[in-house]
Amino acid sequence: MKRVVAVVLACLASAPSLHSRNGTANAAPAPAATESCFLLYEVGVGEVRRRPSTICATRLLPASTFKIPHALAALDAGVLSGADEKMAYDGSPTSMASWRRDHTLASAMSNSVVWYFQRVAERLGMDREREYLKKFDYGNGDPSSGLTTFWLGGSLQITPEEQMRFMRRLYADELPVSPRAMRIVRELIVQPPGAVVNATGEHPFAAPWPRDTVVSAKTGSGTDRGGKSVRWLVGHLARGSRAWIFVSTVAGSDETPALAAVDQAAAALRQERILR
């Protein structure tokens, strides 16, 4: 883990600095091989900080960040009854040890269990997948490449800026689904203090956090059809009476660290003095 963090910090050091409201910068451009985008919005205030990059407006595979809208659609449509709905593991081979057991919606979200959400897709069907993508105005809204894979490097793509708009609507109760569905999904992505959890386990995240801090987030990691590796962390942070929404994206070669977007977000939130 120390080696991964060191690689990410080296990458951040060579990338454009995070901009404040006045748009000034003090670092050299990032190498062309790796692009990054960090967006931070304070609820009730507006945009606080962004990493200026063409990738902020570039559509990329959503990978497991799509579990957020997927769960919303499933709960709203009634194909999942709630956070405790269990599905049985069928024994199919998988590289992730955390996936080789039965899962509820809650544990499938935390452990980013692909097979669970592929069954969700089968329950929804292609027509409802299209309907909810349109309702959510989610990226290019295209599930045509395959019912159980369209978000995993297939036809569905979304920009970091579009992810930000979607997350803002989720936390403002503005998505066209039931309030219950939005409440459950927001609860499902709350992270343990000082950490972010994904399929590979629990990872330190700018720990220790200040008192009264709650971080809600979802990771995503995958490779698109063009061979570009994409890393995501999208989420919400509450601290006392203030709240922020953030989107962290790093894209590059297959050597891009799996936690690149997580570490970028942690560094940026510490620099902004939100997590310190």
pLDDT digits (tens, 9 = 90+) for 70-87: 999 999 999 999 999 999
pLDDT digits (tens, 9 = 90+) for 195-228: 999 999 999 999 999 999 999 999 999 999 888 9
pLDDT digits (tens, 9 = 90+) for 1-33: 333 333 333 333 333 334 333 333 344 333 346
Distance CA 167, CA 43 (A): 11
Please report whether residue 145 resides in a domain.
Answer: yes
36 DSSP β-pair partners? 250
What would the mean pLDDT of 41-63 be, rounded to a whole number? Answer: 89
Total domains in the fold of the chain: 1
Please report whether residue 196 resides in a domain.
Answer: yes
CB distance 73 to 128 below 8 Å: yes
Please report whether residue 187 resides in a domain.
Answer: yes
| Full domain range(s) for residue 155 | 2-271
Average pLDDT, the chain: 89
Q: Which of 53, 64, 229, 248 is catalytic?
A: 64
Please report whether residue 124 resides in a domain.
Answer: yes
Distance CA 81, CA 79 (A): 7
pLDDT for residue 33: 64
Tell me the two tokens of residue 105: 């919606």
Q: Is 14 one of the catalytic residues?
A: no
- Classified as helix, coil or strand, 99 is helix
Angle between helix 160-171 and 67-77 (nearest 10): 40
What pTM was estimated for this model as a whole?
0.87
Distance CA 254, CA 100 (A): 25
Q: What percent of the chain has pLDDT over 70?
A: 88
Phi and psi angles of residue 37, each rounded to the nearest 5 degrees, phi first = -140, 130
Strand intervals (E) in 51-99: 86-87
Distance CA 110, CA 101 (A): 14
Tell which residue, 209, 246, 222, has the closest CA to residue 66: 222
pLDDT for residue 53: 75
Tell me the two tokens of residue 143: 């599930």
* pLDDT confidence bin for 191, thresholds 50/70/90: very high
CATH number assigned to the domain comprising residue 75: 3.40.710.10
Distance CA 28, CA 57 (A): 20
Please report whether residue 188 resides in a domain.
Answer: yes
Q: Residue 53 contacts by C-beta under 8 Å, 6 or more apart in sequence?
A: 16, 30, 35, 36, 37
Chain CA centroid to CA 148, Å = 19
Burial (CB count within 10 angstroms: exposed 0-12, middle 13-18, buried 19+), residue 192: exposed
pLDDT digits (tens, 9 = 90+) for 104-135: 999 999 999 999 999 999 999 999 999 999 99
Which residue has 């959890």 as its token pair? 197
Distance CA 255, CA 151 (A): 21
The H-assigned helical ranges of 91-222 are 105-110, 114-136, 160-171, 179-188
CB distance 31 to 14 below 8 Å: yes
- Classified as helix, coil or strand, 132 is helix
State the DSSP H helix or E strand holding residue 231, giving kind and residue range, or none if neither.
strand 229-239
Distance CA 191, CA 125 (A): 30
* Identity of residue 5: V
Please report whether residue 247 resides in a domain.
Answer: yes
Please report whether residue 276 resides in a domain.
Answer: no
pLDDT for residue 31: 39
Distance CA 247, CA 234 (A): 4
